[in-house]
């Protein structure tokens, strides 16, 4: 019976896996990067807004975050993709505030109102270790774009405390290349959104005209760092890129163009979650942004999924794909 399989590039055995950051810590590079990142807060260019404020002195600008990160909650999350949540949950840490201003944000209280508490590096490290102790499969940083220095600073302490879980960087896709270079060899799984293809629509709905350009640039860099998404024998994601795309009413997100970009300019093996849970929230209502004041239709979701399939992308709703990958272990 043939042992060679085309999907073998997407497999990584759990006993062979080591989180990327362990080697960086061993060489001292993780500590050096944490120091560099924190020092850079004095003139902050950690995201594409390039505000340049002195966050070390607790000055704030677009992200409204000073020296320390704010956390709204942390817990084992069972609402993430199957390959992240597994059977014990994804160890999710929700950072408060954001560098985007999505008018339809479904976490408005967290991203815009700043619901949460300020935490120092010791407390943030303790959260990671607590989630590991609770059996979570990974540590999942949600909205980390503006707190990369704080994450690195805390990660050093968490590694010293015994952290050994893969790290998920769960982002809007509005990141700076500088921040991603700091995270190179630190992050195991990048999970960016790709929200909008058109710059005018990005300005209207995200308040960031350059969002599409930034997202294209950083998703390419993320893939360069970690490659296609790989799974262990239990179907859990261990390393690679997973792109999320929220389908919008009327197809205004530009799904077709986004899927083409992922297939042709990133990789035809890109793993994509085409999400159909859009609903009016945030500032959307009968008086504002009325054109998106409705849920998407089944036909709109089907059309978006069909676009991903046409370009041969790996879809998260193809559960049989992960099952087939798991079964390959019996053949090798």
Identify the CA nearest to 124 among candidates 67, 84, 83.
67
Give 175's contacts (C-beta < 8 A, 6+ positions apart).
47, 48, 145, 192, 214, 218
pTM: 0.93
Q: Quick one: pLDDT at residue 64?
A: 96
Q: Quick one: pLDDT at residue 101?
A: 96
Element (H, E) at 231: strand 230-231
In a domain, 210, yes or no: yes
Q: Quick one: pLDDT at residue 7?
A: 61
Domain region containing 70: 6-331
Q: Can you read off the two tokens belonging to residue 324?
A: 């087939």
Alpha-carbon distance 187 to 165, whole Å?
Answer: 11
Alpha-carbon distance 202 to 110, whole Å?
Answer: 21
Q: Quick one: pLDDT at residue 9?
A: 78
Task: Count how many domains the chain has.
Answer: 1
Q: Quick one: pLDDT at residue 320?
A: 43
Q: Quick one: pLDDT at residue 8?
A: 66
Q: Quick one: pLDDT at residue 55?
A: 97
pLDDT, averaged per 10 consecutive residues of the chain (332 residues), comes to 51 90 98 98 96 97 96 97 97 97 94 93 98 98 98 98 98 97 98 98 98 98 97 96 98 98 97 96 96 97 97 79 44 44
In a domain, 1, yes or no: no
Q: Can you read off the two tokens belonging to residue 325?
A: 């990958």
CATH of the domain at 192: 3.20.20.70
């Amino acid at each position: 019976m043939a042992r060679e399989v085309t999907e073998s590039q997407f497999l990584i055995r759990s006993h062979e896996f080591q989180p990327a950051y362990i080697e960086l810590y061993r060489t001292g590079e993780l500590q050096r990067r944490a120091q560099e990142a924190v020092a850079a807060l004095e003139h902050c260019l950690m995201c594409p807004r390039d505000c340049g404020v002195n966050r070390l002195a607790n000055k704030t600008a677009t992200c409204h975050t000073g020296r320390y990160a704010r956390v709204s909650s942390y817990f084992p999350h069972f609402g993430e993709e199957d390959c992240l949540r597994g059977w014990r949950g994804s160890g999710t840490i929700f950072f408060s505030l954001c560098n985007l201003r999505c008018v339809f944000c479904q976490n408005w209280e967290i991203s815009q109102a700043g619901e949460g508490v300020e935490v120092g590096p010791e407390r943030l490290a303790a959260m990671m270790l607590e989630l590991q102790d609770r059996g979570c499969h990974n540590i999942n940083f949600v909205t980390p774009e503006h707190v990369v220095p704080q994450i690195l600073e805390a990660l050093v302490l968490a590694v010293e405390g015994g952290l050994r879980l893969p790290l998920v960087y769960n982002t809007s896709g509005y990141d700076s290349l500088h921040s991603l270079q700091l995270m190179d060899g630190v992050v195991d799984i990048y999970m960016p959104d790709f929200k909008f293809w058109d710059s005018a629509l990005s300005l209207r709905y995200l308040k960031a005209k350059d969002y599409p350009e930034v997202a294209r640039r950083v998703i390419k860099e993320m893939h360069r760092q970690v490659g296609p998404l790989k799974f262990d024998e239990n179907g859990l994601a261990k390393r690679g890129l997973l792109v999320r795309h929220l389908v919008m009413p009327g197809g205004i997100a530009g799904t077709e163009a986004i899927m083409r970009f992922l297939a042709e300019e990133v990789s035809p093996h890109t793993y994509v979650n085409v999400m159909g849970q859009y609903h009016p929230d945030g500032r959307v209502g009968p008086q504002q942004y009325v054109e998106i004041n409705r849920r998407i239709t089944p036909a709109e979701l089907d059309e978006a999924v069909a676009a991903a399939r046409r370009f041969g992308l790996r879809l998260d709703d193809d559960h049989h794909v992960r099952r087939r990958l798991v079964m390959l272990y019996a053949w090798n």
